[in-house]
Amino acid sequence: MPDPTSTALLAVAALAGYLSGSIPFGLILTRMAGLGDVRSIGSGNIGATNVLRTGRKGLAAATLLFDALKGTVPVLVGWQFGETVAVAAGAGAFLGHLFPVWLGFRGGKGVATYIGVLLGLFWPAVLIFAGVWIAVAYLTRYSSLSALVATVVVPAAIWWFERPTTAAVMAALSAIVWVKHHANIRRLLSGTEGRIGQKS
């Protein structure tokens, strides 16, 4: 039988991670800057890419940083109790960003928080993610495709480093990233996805 204490600890870690991940920094920062509700422009998303559409690069960068950190911090706290607890906290943070209770469970697409979780769980994987992203972006000029390819490579790389628990959970999170990018995938297939540096 499973240890009730361990099960409770995992549940608490996942919940704490979820609450951290559900903080909508993109929305908070744009409102504090007097720009209104970021969900009313562009894609209607709360992530850094949509914040960038306000023309405020600094706010977009801050959103990217905080969205990543809200994945990293719960993981680092979770590590005090072992890898499984850290993974549970990271998964919770990721899901909190995608489905924040404060915003009717309508959040971002999760790439920044995904990277933040990676940073806390296995930092070399962030370097792999960045390398793949840069290579694909250089070849195709598609930001979305770069992120999607990187989320496929990362779990396989983590598995190669013999971290099966982390690899399995990151594979699941990668699948969710793909689902959340369904509109981008449709545009990629139809050739209408915007390229990096392309003016609208």
pLDDT band for 182, please (50, 70, 90 cuts): very high
Does the pLDDT of residue 200 top 80, yes or no? no
pLDDT, tens digit, 9 for 90 and up, residues 36-60: 888 877 776 788 877 878 878 888 8
Report residue 45 CA to chain centroid gap. Answer: 13
103 close to 27: Cβ distance less than 8 angstroms? yes
Q: Pick the residue with more confidence: 69 or 51? A: 69
Least-confidence region, from 48-52, 107-111, 160-164: 48-52
Residue 97: per-residue pLDDT: 95
- The 3-class SS string of 140-161 reads HCCHHHHHHHHHHHHHHHHHHC
Return the closest-CA partner of residue 142 out of 90, 199, 193. 193
pLDDT band for 195, please (50, 70, 90 cuts): confident
Burial class (CB in 10 A: 0-12, 13-18, 19+), 110: buried
Q: Pick the residue with more confidence: 135 or 106? A: 135
Backbone angles phi, psi at 196, to 5 degrees: -60, 130
Q: What percent of the chain has pLDDT over 90?
A: 70
Q: 88: which 2 tokens?
A: 């549970």
Other C-beta atoms within 10 Å of 44: how many?
11
Where b means 16+ CB within 10 Å and e means fewer, 173-186 reads bbebbeebbeebee
Residue 25: per-residue pLDDT: 92
